[in-house]
Amino acid sequence: MSHTPLDPSSHEAVNHYIGQAADIIDLSDEVRRSLSTPSRELAVQVPVRLDNGELQILHGFRVQHNDSRGPYKGGIRYHPSVDLNEVRALASLMTWKTALVDLPFGGAKGGIEVDPTVMSVYEVERMTRRFTLMVADQLGPYRDIPAPDVNTDAQVMAWIMDEFSDINGYSPAVVTGKPLALGGAPGRESATGLGCVFVLEAFLEANHLDLIGKRVAIQGFGNVGRHMAWELFRRGAKVTAVSDVSGGVFNPGGLDIPQLSDHVRSGKLLNTADEGDHVTNDQLLGLGCDILAPAALGEVITGANAASINARVVLEAANYPVTPSGDVALRERGVTVIPDVLANAGGVTGSYFEWTQNIQQFTWKVERFNSELRDRLVTAFTDVNSFAKLHDCSLREAAYAIGLQRVSEATKLRGYLSGA
Ligand code: GLU
């Protein structure tokens, strides 16, 4: 992952955010030091035989940050930028996210340094199965539960579940985000994008504002961006821009999201869409709008480009899209940031509902799923907003502080730091 000279590595950056919040709640040095380091890191070799006979040796990781509140939980991503530092940062974010939404989980993240978009489905399957085998002894429904993330989906989760079940017996609860036919939950796929909208609505309501007519620019049109755009469109907001790897489209009057969704579902990229004006991903970030939602990769808003942001609110639908230097610059310009650990917590909250149904061998209707999702996220938003007001701090500082308080209490109660 590339860094501007203004920012530390992503793991140091997350520790910086932890430090800011720890100061507010006066967290002891011992707990701080413990929570700034993952409890376990696996770095594995993943040999993959390509369809043309060539052998690729890939690097795979699973970082388990903290499990004091429950089994480790977090996605697995396939991307060329994956490295141990990035996975450490993302694992830590999961700990604060699950604690903030009060889920009985800890935090973890995994990934393989690879570009799966240039691989065949057979190659991706072989890679997934080998990776699972290499980390399987640290996974389990009460140990560590992966989920989809960047470039992984329900099919990848099905292979992980199958491989793990071959060793341990039928175990649907070992992963979430599965296909519906294998114990996946109706509602899980849209949960991150819909959750972003629930959090945004709660934020607007707390500030006596209305979503209808608000101009929203979304960087990304994958699972998160697409569902978010759709839910915003349905509610009468104007989605003025969306993008994918090929670039974006912009229409100040609002894009036709159903048409763009059909375009992308038919396998085409947005640079061939017949809608609005074409913009680059960098240009999209600077478009004038009410809400800017980075919903793709991390570190897209930094001290180097924060001055060009023309939104009043940044909704962090992606993980770690704003670096510490970007965070300071946005704050100085009066832009409110709704932090990732709150904004995109709908995904892991939906995973919790799926896991709960799997271990109870019971199924919910999607209406129950979405209504419980809303309740959880609105409660988390209210907690964060009240804390921020009480302590006169940012929403990020408040979100981390609440997570830190909950995790440090559990860590202490379990006697983890007794050193025994
Ligand atoms: N990858 C998602 C996230 O970053 C979901 C994780 C999960 O459901 O475990 O929050």
Which residue's alpha carbon is nearest to atom 8 within ligand 1? 348
What atom of ligand 1 comes closest to residue 75's alpha carbon? 1
pLDDT value at position 377? Answer: 99
The token pair at 405 is 């308080």
3-state secondary structure of 420: coil
Q: Which is nearest to 96 in space by CA: 62, 75, 69, 61? A: 69
E-strand spans in 245-342?
247-250, 277-279, 291-294, 313-315, 336-338
Question: For ligand 1, which residues put their CB under 6 angstroms from it?
Answer: 73-75, 147, 149, 176, 319, 344, 347-348, 351
Domain boundaries, the chain: 37-173, 191-338
Evaluate if residue 16 carries a pLDDT over 50: yes
**pLDDT confidence band for 248 (50 / 70 / 90):** very high
Continuous segment of H or E residues that includes residue 285: helix 281-285
Residues 53-72 have a mean pLDDT of 98
* CATH no., domain 37-173: 3.40.50.10860
- Please identify every residue annotated as catalytic: 109
**Which residue has better confidence, 6 or 231?**
231
The number of the ligand 1 atom at minimal distance from the alpha carbon of 351 is 8
Please check the confidence at residue 5 and state whether its pLDDT lies above 80: no
Using the mean position of ligand 1's atoms as its centre, give its distance from the Cα of residue 344 in Å: 8
Name the residue of 351, 355, 376 to mutate for ligand 1: max ligand atoms within 8 A of Cβ. Answer: 351
In order of 42, 75, 361, the CA distances from 137 in angstroms are 11, 17, 24
Fold matches, 37-173 and 191-338: yes
Domain 191-338 belongs to what topology? Rossmann fold (3.40.50)
Distance 226 CA to ligand 1 centre (A): 16
DSSP summary character for residue 320: S
Rounded Cα–Cα distance for residues 418 and 102 (Å): 25
> pLDDT class for 2, splitting at 50, 70, 90?
very low
